[in-house]
Amino acid sequence: MSDALQKLPRHVGFIIDGNGRWAKERGLPRTKGHEAGIKNLDVVLHECFYTYQIPLVSLYCFSTENWHRPKQEVDFLIKYFTNYLKTNDFVKKFPGVKLNIMGDYTKFPPKLVKNADQVIAATKNETKFVLNLGINYSGQDELVRAYNRMLQDGVTAVDRATVEKYLYTHDQPPLDYVVRTSGEQRLSNFMLWQVSYAELHFPKTNWPAFGKTELHAALLEYQRRDRRFGSIKEETKAEDEPKQK
Ligand code: IPE
Ligand code: IPE
Ligand code: MG
């Protein structure tokens, strides 16, 4: 199935959106949408890591703004994340994957924090794949945190490399591709630094229905993109060169 794909992103980000609408369309409570959405994480992560061998995946699962949702919904999400981060399940499901959490997860209840710490410790020596999990995450907060940590360290001169060193994603390449499901066309505070030259894609499918076929289609879409990074195409450069007389 992946045969037609020759150009894959090294680092792909997913903004998980549309769980609530998926549930509403089916006459279900929003929490059922989250339940289905969490299950779908496994499908997409497995495809990315083991079918397509994409080494870095960033998932935006809970923003700093999501605390404004009804307490019952937030509590459900916390419960799902807590279960998702059970060490034995995680390492069995995701061999070779190192977990890196983006966001101040210490603001969650102790059980989630404990589970997260255990998975981080259990996977810290994995080198094949990385999962950046954004929970209580905000791109603006990540930058503020980076600047504060620089001040604490007495940093007096800052360049791009310095900023990158202080991000959750230090030592990682930037995002190549960001997919936001449900048709919304915004970043909602997702990895504002790392997204600088990423290709963006906004499929209409709600996250719980974004399965293998939709992922494959999204990766084909990436392959069609022409990334220039401010330069011009190599063949255009050649065409414009003065002809030798
Ligand atoms: C994404 O689905 C999950 C989180 C942001 C936690 P939503 O819950 O935002 O679903 P919609 O956008 O209301 O459909
Ligand atoms: C963005 O989704 C945050 C996450 C996917 C975690 P939201 O549903 O919270 O974003 P808005 O409110 O539609 O921008
Ligand atoms: Mg939403």
DSSP per-residue string spanning 155-192: -----HHHHHHTSTTTTSPPPSEEEEGGG----TT--T
Which ligand 1 atom is the nearest neighbour of the CA of 30? 8
Asked if residue 160 belongs to a domain, the reply is no
Asked if residue 69 belongs to a domain, the reply is yes
Asked if residue 4 belongs to a domain, the reply is no
Asked if residue 245 belongs to a domain, the reply is no
Structural domains in the chain (count): 1
Asked if residue 110 belongs to a domain, the reply is yes
Asked if residue 218 belongs to a domain, the reply is yes
Length of the chain: 245
The pLDDT score that the predictor gives to residue 241 is: 66
Residue 232 class from Cβ within 10 Å (0-12 exposed, 13-18 middle, 19+ buried)?
exposed
Asked if residue 193 belongs to a domain, the reply is yes
What confidence tens digit (pLDDT) does each residue in 76-123 have?
999 999 999 999 999 999 999 999 999 999 999 999 999 999 999 999
Q: pTM (2 decimals)?
A: 0.95
Which one of 40, 66, 88, 125 is the catalytic residue? Answer: 66
Which ligand 2 atom is the nearest neighbour of the CA of 186? 14
Asked if residue 154 belongs to a domain, the reply is no
Quick one: pLDDT band at residue 57, thresholds 50, 70, 90? Answer: very high
CATH classification of the domain holding 96: 3.40.1180.10
The answer, yes or no, to whether any atom of ligand 2 lies below 6 A from the CB of 17, is yes
What confidence tens digit (pLDDT) does each residue in 213-229 have?
999 999 999 999 999 99
Which one of 17, 40, 100, 136 is the catalytic residue? Answer: 17
pLDDT of residue 172 exceeding 90 = yes
Q: What is the domain extent for residue 39?
A: 11-138+175-225
